[in-house]
Every structure is written in structure tokens, then in C-alpha cells.
Chains A and B, each alone.
Chain A
Amino acid sequence: MEKLYGYVGKIARINLTSGEVSIIPTSNYVPKYIGGRGICNKIFWDEVGPGVKAFDPENKIIFMTGPTTGTGIPTGGRTVIAGISPQCYPEQYTWSGIGGWFGAELKYAGYDGLVIEGKAPERSYIWINDDKISILPADELWGLYTYETQLKLEEIHGKDVKSLVIGPAGENLVRMAVVASANETAASKGGFGAVFGSKNLKAITVRGTGTVQPADVEAVLRLRHKMGKPLYYTNPVKISKTFEGPGMNFPVEEGVKEIRTCCSHGCNQHCPRLFLDVKSVTQKSGRINQVSKCVGPFAIEWVNDCGWVPAQTFASEKNNNPACLMMSGAVVPPDLTDPAAPELFDFHPGDTYNLWEPDYDRGMVINELCSQYGLNKWDIIIWLMPWLAMGKKEGVLDDLDLGMEIDPSSEEFMKHLLDMIVYRKGYYGNLFAEGMARAIRELGKEKYGDTIYQGRFSKRLNGQRLDIPISFEAAWGYSAHWNGRGYQGSIDITAWLPILLELMTSSRDPQPNTHHHDTIDYMREARKDLYHGLAVPKSAIMNENKAELKEAITSCDWQLPDVYWPTAEAELFEAATGIKMSEEEMITAAERLKNLFRAILIRNYGRTREMEVNEVLPLHSYPDADGNVLDKKGFQVLVDNYYKLRGWDVKTGWPTRETYERLGLKEVADELEAIGKLPD
């Protein structure tokens, strides 16, 4: 076999039922499926058929790195977990990205990935010490918070181990439980923490002392320079008297102390904020450091939704910056000599909701509890808490006895409620542990989901009240996220329409790996004919393909895609592997991964056009911040065009045989044809 660069050559299959460990050569899957999520899709397609449920031992936890992981290629520390998701509604195959240091360490131990199957007879954790893999009793770890679990593993196996862990939420099969690493770095989407729990698996800890060899060291260093600019600034502790967040600016009595940090091995940026010495309810000292990026600040204050400037999404040649630079504050000032500047920096203020007033301590405590219990903040901060606030104001929750007066602005109430949920205490604890999508249906969606909140006011429309339901449900069991209404709802129709297509064809909220990007020229073109033109579906497809590549090679959504550097992904891949692929070949590879994912949804979960169109219509029937609602008739044309561009049948939404075969997936087409799931 030819030497593989970037990859280390082995995937470990670990059967928790039998304790057997076997090795799969990575070369079975690469370069065709590239790495990361691409390999996850292929393994899942080959090994998990229809009918398996998320908590069945037959479900698999597939963890994959990319060829860039551990090589020093910028943001290669990103990795992927995939399998059947208990958070998805209905349950289906999905994935979650995670940064941290586990993936690089796993490669240094000699593995590109892990396939974990079965169910351990006892509470267990996996210990990987280079080429030795053991399944050990987890009695000492069970019940611990996520941070303490990691520290305990360091105590047992040495300071250099890196761990993926679950908290009490995962142990108790809470459907929105995360798999965590480091501080607040987590695979949040999907509820894979609960899949760990269902397999009696508390943690995976690894020590790797080997090496990873990129094909071209000089290219790696060039990429670090290129993707690092214009940074290389210092990161001093910043002390201020006020907390500033998206749309937030209020005084904090004890002051705010923070630095920037990074979230994965080898990252060349430092976009997350690390708040120092904040209130803690899990540490004896009563203080802790807390990472915060996008969702976290909204537990602190939610008077207004966050605003949006088109420059976050659309770029011109003169104003083109990755999100990480904007986030870290290191972005260069806008170039206002750019003729596109008035459009790019036309600020869209977020809608007013008046959910809760600022409280720095309360917000930090909720963030800490989510991290320590191992809960997906999107389900808690973006869905449960606003639902409680809006539902209470509308009188919908009067009959709910949660053991305390419902008040999401109260730290004590939220501590009480999260404790109920995580430990599944009582009827309501169990109900909300099933996640918001299921809880609301159990309570009765018409009343508890669809009641209109009367307190949403659009600043774009001079304070006009706009309808929004009390439940911020977007699709597939996930909350709104840059959908033009609900949380991060200030984005305009040229952006939320392609995002809608991305959501439609996914099995979860796709925005964490598909933050939409395009050129200012796209925005202008899309506006000419939103529903009948090809600008919107082409933009969706471009972003979906780039997202596939990001999570395959692997790299970070906060740096890529760069719409003026279309060969970025090919350059990163080549630096790691030495395999030269043109931009077109990379896009074909991305299409292969997307269509294989599509085939899984079709074969295992009966995905059709009708199903996915109906899934995304409800939220988009409410007005966006500009008062626009989805044109349902026009949307059908948009979907037609999207499917045609994808090579999918417009009636069923299924890829054609020609499409599968063009992408080297003939065997997939054959299998689907045998079960009647190829279009006529």
C-alpha cells in the first residue's frame, strides 16, 4: 500500500458488548470519502440499516478525524461524531462537529477514528494508550460533571490524556445531552451524549505518543501564515466595567475580566471569549472560567435578538473577513471606499422580545450548568427558556406545576428546573428530558407550541408587532438559527432562503457547519427573483458542498468557506495528503458525500420531498424581521430548481441513478433500486 500522508491509517472498531477490538484500514475509505463526516456516512451506510433506534445497541457512535487533524493545518483539530440521533425529531442519522484536543491525540495514538458499537454490560469508559485499547469500569466517574470527569481521568491516567466525556445528562439519557471535551467544547447537536449513556459509556480517554506526517510541511506553514493574517496580536487580559455582547451593553458591579481563547488543537485563531473568575455553583471556590461564543450571552440578557450586518454573510473583494476574525475583534475596520459598503454594513437590528433583563451571574451559572451537566445550550437557552418566558406571558403555562413559580429570569428557578431535567425528576423532569420537540408535542402542540407571542416588535419596521410562536422550533427537532425569525432572526430573505434549503435537506440544524456565505453579487442577483431565479438554490448548494468538505478534510466553519479563495479546501487537503485535486474534483467529492447522506435518509428514514418541504414550512410561515413570509407557491419552484441542480427527481426528491453513478455511488443506486427508492 502506498504511504498515506495526513491519515495515520487505522480506524479502531470497539464492541462494547463483547469487549472485542479490531482494526479497519483507513485506506478502505480514502481518498474517495476524504475523512471526517465523509467516512462516517460511508460506515453508517454500510453497517446500519433501517429500523435501528438511537438507544439500541445496534446504533453506532462513529468518531472521525480528518487528514488535517494533528498536522498543524489551521483548524484541523475539528472532528465529527455521527450516528442515530436521539435529539432529532424523528430520530434519524445525523452528526455533530467537535473541536478540542481529543482528535489530534487519537491520531498520535495511531487511529484516524473509532467505531463504537454494542452496549457495555457495566458502566464503562474506554482507555486508549497508543496501540492498547481497554474497556474499564467507570464506577469512579459515573455521576461526575463533565469537567470533573476529565480531571479525574487525568488523575488516573496522567495529565497528558485527552478525553471525550458525558455528564449526568448523558448518563440519564437526556435527549439533548452533549459529548464534551475541555471547557465548553462539545458535540452539541444530536444528543450523542445520551447515546454514550445508552451504551453505558461515560468517556473515552486517549494518550498518543506517535506522530502524524503531513505531505508538505512548507505548505502547512504557508497556510498558517495565510489564514493567520492579519493577526499575530497579543491577547492581554481585558478588564471592563460593562458586559458587551450581541446587542447587549450593561454595567457589571464586579467588572468583567476576559481573554480570547481557542477551541481546538492547532487552531490559528482565538475567537471564543473566556470570561474569568465568574460565579460558579459547581466549584467549591464559587468561581470558574466560562467560555462563551454565540448562544451563551443570551442566558445573560434577552431583551433584543441579536442584530446582523450583511458583511457577516456576504463579502466583497474589499470587505472579506472570516467570522473568527470578526468574533475575536481582530478584524480590520470596514473599507468604506468599497462601493458595496452601504449594502454590506446596512445594520439589521434584532427584534425586541423583552424575555429577561441582564444578569451576569445568572447567565454564567446557566451556562456553567449546561456545560457541567452536559446539556445542549441550544435546547435550553434558545428554546426552553424563551418558551417559558413567552408562554408565561401568554398565560399558556398556568397549568404546569414545575415545583416553583416559573421564571426563567431567576437563577434559582433555572437551577431547580435543570436539576429536574438532568436527573429526570417527576413527570415534568422526564418530559423536558425528552427535549423540547417531544415535550411540546406531548403537552399539545397547538396550545403549547403554536400560541402566538404578542411581545415581538420589529425594529426594522419601526416597532411593528409581528407574530411568532412561543416555541422557536425550526425543523427536525432543533430550534431556530439564522432562519429569519426566532433566535438570530434578523437575517434578511436573501440569506434565510438558501438557509431554508440547507435546513430542509439536512437532518438537524445545519447552521453550525454551514453558516451561510456568498458574494455581494449573489445578494444582488438573488433579489432580482428570489424564488424563480437560480441564485438562491446555487448558493445553497455551494454552501452545502463547502460544509461537506469542511467536516471531511477537516476545518472550521468560522474560517471557511472564503468565497474569494475557492481552492482553499483543495489546498488544505493537498498539504495534508499530497493528493492534488482541482476545485471541481473537490466539489464532486462533496457532492458524493451529500448524496450518500441523502441515500441514508431515503433508505433508513423514508425521506421524500413532501416530508422535508412540510417540515420547514411552519416556522417560515411567520414574518421575518422585514415582515416577509415565505411564498409557499414560489418555494415549490425554488425546491424544483434546487433538486434539478442537484440531479434529484423533482417529484420524490430522490437522486437519480445517473447522479449516483456520476459520483461513483453505483452500488448505492443498486441497493436503493432494489427497495424501490430510485425515481422512475
Chain B
Amino acid sequence: MEKNTPTMNDKKYGRHIVQYPPEVSACVGCNACEIVCALVHEGKAGPMLRRIFLERDTVMLFNHVIHTCQHCVDHPCYDACPKKDAAMCLDEEKGIVYINAEFCIGCKRCIKACPFEPKRINFNKSEKKAVKCDLCRNRENGPACVEFCQVRCIGLSDQPLPPPPPTPAPPEGKPNENDSEQTPSA
């Protein structure tokens, strides 16, 4: 099985979404990436519409793993598509492998061809169409999953790591004698 790592910016893979290690930013497992992904593409949320896959760590809550399409340079999903260039398409300039849903016949060959486990191509069982990450190629702000990640634990593979959180600047004049006691409690 091939894994996502932020060091996968090699010739085998195109530009893609990476999950940063917890030393940079730990995923909180909120599913916002999946939700906004489905919303911006389909106008609905739901597991079969997501193009990014969060595997939650139910109990320990620390090892949430985000699986994403790597936009493989050798694009086996594209090669397997019987309607290639109509359904599964290449944006060679941007290195994006994307699906034109209008022409997808729902044969799932692209899913079978995906070299990753779990698969990085989803299937919309209602519409009988394959769905996969297109890096929000037509979206002005870029990938919605990155834009709406509350803790910036994902990013584009060719972008620099996000900065650490700012250290809160002390206000002018301390408001009280014990800052630690200000933590609100439920």
C-alpha cells in the first residue's frame, strides 16, 4: 500500500493535497475537509460525495489519517477509463487528473486501477458516477479542503509548510494576576 506523506513531492506524483505531521499541525478529525469538498462539488454533503477521505481515530483521537488522490504522473485511472478524455481527463498544464461527470458511465474501472488502498476515487451510487479530487481546478480560492481546514493540517504538496501559531502578544498592562486562571470552564 502506498501512503500519503508530505515528502511525496517527487516525480511519481503530481501536485496533490498532503497531510502534515502532528509536529506541524495535528488533524482534529472534524471532517470539515470532506464536508466542504462535497459541498463545493455537489451542493450536498455525504460520504459518497467526498474526494478526500478522513480515517478517524475513534478513541485515541490522535492518529486521524487523511487519504488523498496523488494525481499520479502515470495516471493509471485515466488509462483505465473507457471514455478517457471525455470522462476521465487530464489537465496537463496543471497536472490534474479529473472526471467530467457528464460522460462518466460508472464502470468503476478507474477505481480498480487506483494503486492506493484505500482507493482515492469515490463512487456516487445515486448518480452512478465516479468522483475524485480535481484540486478544485475551477475554484478561485483553490482547494476548498485546504481553505476550510480549521487547523491547517493539510496543504498543497508544492507549498511551504504553514507557520506555527502565533504566540499571543501580551496586552499592554496585564489584566489580572494569574493568566492561567482565566481559562473558562464549562
Asked if B186 contacts A515 (CB within 8 A), the reply is yes
Give Cα A246–Cα B36 distance, bound, in whole angstroms: 35
Q: Would A347 and B176 be within 8 Å (CB), given that A101-B56, A235-B151 are in contact? A: yes
The residues in B between 118 and 157 inclusive whose CB is less than 8 angstroms from any CB of A are: 125-126, 144, 148-153
Asked if B26 contacts A183 (CB within 8 A), the reply is no
Question: Which residue of the partner chain, among B59, B164, B184, B185, contacts A234 with CB atoms under 8 Å?
Answer: B164
Asked if B61 contacts A237 (CB within 8 A), the reply is no
Chain A 245-265: CB-based contact to B (< 8 A → 1; otherwise 0): 111110000000001111011
Q: Would A236 and B165 be within 8 Å (CB), given that A259-B62, A276-B62, A309-B176 are in contact? A: yes
Contacting residues, chain B, for A245 (C-beta < 8 A): 180, 183
Contacting residues, chain A, for B149 (C-beta < 8 A): 232
Tell me whether A333 is interfacial, beta carbon within 8 Å: yes
Q: Would A234 and B49 be within 8 Å (CB), given that A329-B168, A334-B175, A349-B178 are in contact? A: no
Contacting residues, chain B, for A85 (C-beta < 8 A): none
Contacting residues, chain A, for B117 (C-beta < 8 A): none
Asked if A244 contacts B180 (CB within 8 A), the reply is yes
Tell me whether A108 is interfacial, beta carbon within 8 Å: yes
How big is the B interface, by class? Answer: 35 or more
Contacting residues, chain A, for B49 (C-beta < 8 A): 211
Contacting residues, chain B, for A261 (C-beta < 8 A): 28-29, 61
Q: Would A72 and B61 be within 8 Å (CB), given that A233-B166, A247-B178, A347-B176 are in contact? A: no
Asked if A108 contacts B32 (CB within 8 A), the reply is no
Tell me whether A318 is interfacial, beta carbon within 8 Å: no
Question: Which residue of the partner chain, among B44, B151, B171, contacts A233 with CB atoms under 8 Å?
Answer: B151
Asked if B59 contacts A108 (CB within 8 A), the reply is no
The residues in A between 645 and 667 inclusive whose CB is less than 8 angstroms from any CB of B are: none
Asked if A234 contacts B44 (CB within 8 A), the reply is no
Give Cα A17–Cα B13 distance, bound, in whole angstroms: 56
Give Cα A239–Cα B48 distance, bound, in whole angstroms: 38
Tell me whether B82 is interfacial, beta carbon within 8 Å: no
Asked if B180 contacts A213 (CB within 8 A), the reply is no
Asked if A151 contacts B58 (CB within 8 A), the reply is yes
Asked if A262 contacts B176 (CB within 8 A), the reply is no
Give Cα A294–Cα B183 distance, bound, in whole angstroms: 9
Tell me whether B182 is interfacial, beta carbon within 8 Å: yes
Contacting residues, chain B, for A224 (C-beta < 8 A): 32, 36, 148
Contact stretch, chosen from A23-31, A267-275, A566-574, A601-609:
A267-275
Minimal Cβ-Cβ distance residue in B for A298: B185
Tell me whether A160 is interfacial, beta carbon within 8 Å: yes
Tell me whether B60 is interfacial, beta carbon within 8 Å: yes
Asked if A347 contacts B47 (CB within 8 A), the reply is no
Contacting residues, chain A, for B31 (C-beta < 8 A): 101, 104, 265-266
Contacting residues, chain A, for B20 (C-beta < 8 A): 234
Give Cα A445–Cα B61 distance, bound, in whole angstroms: 42
Additional A-B contact list (16), CB under 8 Å, known A236-B22, A247-B178, A326-B184: A70-B45, A72-B32, A212-B44, A213-B43, A237-B23, A246-B181, A267-B32, A306-B183, A309-B176, A333-B169, A333-B171, A334-B171, A335-B171, A345-B175, A349-B181, A350-B181
A-B pairs, top 8 by smallest CB distance, nearest first, are A347-B176, A211-B46, A345-B175, A294-B186, A234-B25, A235-B151, A294-B185, A233-B165
Between-chain CB contacts (< 8 Å), 6 pairs: A70-B45, A101-B56, A211-B42, A224-B148, A294-B185, A333-B169
Q: Which residues of A contact B (CB under 8 A)?
A: 70-72, 101, 104, 108, 147, 150-151, 154, 159-160, 182-183, 208-214, 217, 220-221, 224, 228, 231-237, 244-249, 259-262, 264-270, 274, 276, 288-289, 291, 293-295, 306-307, 309, 312, 323, 326-327, 329-336, 341, 345-347, 349-350, 488, 511-512, 515, 557-558
